[in-house]
Amino acid sequence: MTTGLTVFDTAIGVCGLAWRGDVVAGTSLPDGDASRTRASLARRFPDAVEGPPPAPVQAAIDGIVALLAGARVELASVPLDFSGVPEFNRRAYEIARTIPPGRTLTYGDIAHRLGVPGSAQAVGQAMGHNPFPIIVPCHRVLAAGGKDGGFSARGGVGTKRRMLVIEGALADEPTLF
C-alpha cells in the first residue's frame, strides 16, 4: 500500500501528516518551515509520495487545523496505524486520546489508568516517542503538580504551552516583552 504525505498550515506553523489508505500513519509538528517539516516526515516515511489526501485523512487535517485555531475539536475517532508501536505506548496513547481539549492529565494519572502505578517515567518516554502528535495529544500530559514536563517537538515546552493556551487548558501568561 502506498504511503501518502502532505504538509499544511496551522496556527502554530506548518504541520505534516502521512497516511496509508484512509488511516493516519504519522503526524509531524512544525519543524521551522514547510520544507523542514516535509523532510522530517519523509525521513520517517521514506517511501511516501506527496499528494492530496483521501477524504477521511483530509477530515483529520481539517480537525487538526481547527483545533490549533482554538476550536474544541475531538480527534479521538481518527483512525491510526499503530503497527510498530510498542504495546505499552499504544495503551498510553489510547488513554491520552481520551483527554478532551482544554484539559490535562499527568504522567502519573495515565500510569494509574494503565494499571501500572509507578510507571510515570515510562509514560513520559512513550509520550516523547509519540508518532501522532496532536491526534494523540501528548501536549495535554503534564508532570506531577501540573508542571510542564518535557516536549520533544521544535520549540520544546514553549510549543507545548502554546498549544495548551490555544485549547484553554492554560491561561495566556503575560511576558515582559
Positions annotated as catalytic residues are 138
- Residue 49's SS3 state is strand
Distance CA 28, CA 132 (A): 7
Other Cβ atoms closer than 10 A to 67 = 22
